[in-house]
C-alpha cells in the first residue's frame, strides 16, 4: 500500500512539474513590413515604427503553434504623452510571414481601443523603410 501511495505522489509531482514548465513554443525572430519592424526574443516582442517603439514583455507564447495575443506599452516615442500607453497585438505566423494586428488606447479616453486597420503583413528578415528613414526624431 505504501508503495502505491509513494508512486502516486511521484506521478503527481512529475505531472505538476510538467504543467508548470515553459516548454510551449514561443515566437522568436525578426520581421519587417511597410511601416514597422518586429523583433521577438525570449525576453520581449518589440514593434519599432521609427517614431515610436512598443514593448511586449516576456516570451510571446504561441497558441496552437501558430498564433498569439499579447499586451504591452509604448516605451519610446517622439511624442512624450504617448509613452506608457497600453497596446494589444495579436497575429499568426506561417512560414516566413507574420500577420499582425494592433490596437491602442486613445490618450483622452482610456476606455476606447483603436485599431489602425487590417493586419500588417511582415516578412522574415525584411527591413522597413519607415524605420530606416523615420520622419520624426525619437
Burial 68-102 (b: 16+ CB within 10 A, else e): bebebbbeebeeeebeebebbbbbbbeeeebbbbb
Check residue 56 and give its pLDDT: 97
User: Per-residue pLDDT for 90 more than 50?
Assistant: yes
Cell, residue 16:
505538476
The residue-averaged pLDDT of 69-88 equals: 92
**Backbone conformation region of residue 126, classed left if phi is above 0, alpha if psi is from -120 to 50, else beta:** beta
Q: Let me know the angle formed at the C-alpha of 77 by 71 and 78, rounded to the nearest 5 degrees.
A: 160
Q: What percent of the chain has pLDDT over 90?
A: 54
Read off the pTM.
0.78
pLDDT band at 7 (very low <50, low <70, confident <90, very high): very low
Where residue 108 falls among pLDDT bands split at 50, 70, 90? low
Q: Which three cell numbers stand for residue 59?
A: 516570451
pLDDT value for 75: 95
Q: Which residues of 38-52 are buried (b: 16+ CB within 10 A; e: fewer)?
A: bebeeebbbbbbbbb
pLDDT, residue 16, reads 30
* Per-residue pLDDT reduced to its tens digit, 38-78: 999 999 999 999 899 999 999 999 998 899 999 999 999 99
Choosing among 2.40.128, 1.20.272, 1.10.3470, 3.30.70, the CATH entry for 24-127 is 2.40.128
Residue 2, φ and ψ in degrees, nearest 5: -65, -35
Q: How high is the pLDDT of residue 102? A: 94
pLDDT at 111 (0 to 100): 78
Amino acid at each position: 500500500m505504501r508503495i502505491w501511495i509513494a508512486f502516486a505522489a511521484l506521478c503527481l509531482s512529475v505531472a505538476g512539474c510538467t504543467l508548470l514548465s515553459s516548454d510551449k513554443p514561443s515566437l522568436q525572430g525578426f520581421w519587417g513590413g511597410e511601416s514597422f519592424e518586429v523583433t521577438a526574443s525570449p525576453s520581449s516582442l518589440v514593434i519599432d515604427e521609427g517614431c515610436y517603439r512598443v514593448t511586449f514583455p516576456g516570451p510571446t507564447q504561441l497558441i496552437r503553434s501558430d498564433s498569439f495575443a499579447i499586451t504591452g506599452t509604448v516605451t519610446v516615442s517622439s511624442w512624450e504623452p504617448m509613452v506608457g500607453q497600453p497596446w494589444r497585438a495579436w497575429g499568426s505566423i506561417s512560414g516566413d510571414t507574420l500577420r499582425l494586428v494592433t490596437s491602442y488606447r486613445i490618450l483622452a479616453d482610456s476606455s476606447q481601443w483603436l485599431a489602425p486597420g487590417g493586419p500588417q503583413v511582415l516578412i522574415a528578415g525584411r527591413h522597413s523603410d519607415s524605420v530606416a528613414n523615420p520622419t520624426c526624431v525619437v
